[in-house]
Amino acid sequence: MRRMTRGRVWWFAPVLASSLSMVSCTLDIAAPVLPPPETWAPALNTHPDSAAFQALLDRYVSDGLPGTVLLVRTPEGQWNGAAGFAKIETGESMLPTNRFCAASITKMYMATAVMLLVEDGLIQLDARIRDYLPGSIYGRVPNGAEATVRQLLGHTSGIPDFSGVSAYDLDTLNDPLGPLPAERLLSYLHGQSPIFAAGTGYFYSNANYLLLALIVGQVTGASHADVVTQRILQPLGLEATYYKNESGYPAPPGLVNSYEDLAGDGRLMNVSDLTVHSAETSMGYAGLIATSADYADFIDALLEGRVVGAASLSLMKEHTRSPSYGLGLSFLQTPYGPAIGHSGGDVGVLSQVRHFPDVGATLVLLVNGGDSGVPDALFKRLWDDAMDVALARRIE
């Protein structure tokens, strides 16, 4: 799900330790410092279980999470709260309005942009990607001549991911903050074998969504980010969402610092530079930054039919070769029914953005720690506990 795999994070540890500071996971810091009031603007909390939500977040921060934000929307009301630190080094408290990198959650927005262009007649779902991209691109990608747009969206193209290719891993190890243009990323796939014949299986690959971003740019004659901004962010009024075009990107006001427990010993390393670099150099598969409220507003608007038409939304929900993935939307099976949306994970980032149609609820959980050591284990448990606290009463 992430560009920097768990193995790659551990491989980076010696390099990172030489340049990035270590901070204690115990968060033994003096008085927290609140950001300026103009960055606050907390949402009105009306949920009757507000105290339980806050207690839950406080407990997980005391167990070792650097900081976390939770948004809950159910028919009983809304709660948007936070605990821990946005920046451990300065004692800056986490707020509900802090910004988090989306990592793979970006794929929902990219898929939505593609479906809007399908509705415009500019893209055909079952057209091959060679119909839109020059041979210098598709001809160097495994399955590039056979894969379709639909297969890119649903990760059924058989195109491998650049993450995990030894040349990519070595280059990013030697120069972790170096440039990564699309052409360079795709060059790592040249000479690789397809995972399977196009359309015959499921394999999650960031390369699929990088290719989609290039297709969107090709058919519109503009940046793919222009489509995301002009067709999605602006019409929905998502003013706390940033993707390439927005002022302040890739480090807007309120962006949290991010941390990794690389040694698995509860000590957190500040990896914020890597997190921001990953966002800035990603195209289509990651790179978006937003608040919990904006993430929730997007998934609610999408699933309510306020972004794409009913036919497009139905297609996005269709399962093909995977029971857990449609066209840009993933599906979790939970005790409260299916949870539709997407997860995100990158260096220093863990997140879930989900809507639960069976109980009429939306949950967003964001943590400024990555999937190694303490933050990873705690995030998984916190997500399960947050569902229970927020949704158990809905099925009683």
Q: Other C-beta atoms within 10 Å of 212: how many?
A: 26
Say yes or no to pLDDT of 39 above 80: no
Res. 8 pLDDT band, cuts 50 70 90 = very low
The CATH number that domain 6-395 falls under is: 3.40.710.10
Q: What's the pTM?
A: 0.91
Give pLDDT, residue 152.
98
Contact 357, 303 (CB under 8 A): yes
Contact 303, 296 (CB under 8 A): no
Say yes or no to pLDDT of 38 above 90: no
Residue-wise pLDDT tens digits, 88-125: 999 999 999 999 999 999 999 999 999 999 999 999 99
Say yes or no to pLDDT of 23 above 80: no
Give pLDDT, residue 5.
40
Shortest CA distance to 81 belongs to which of 392, 396, 390? 390
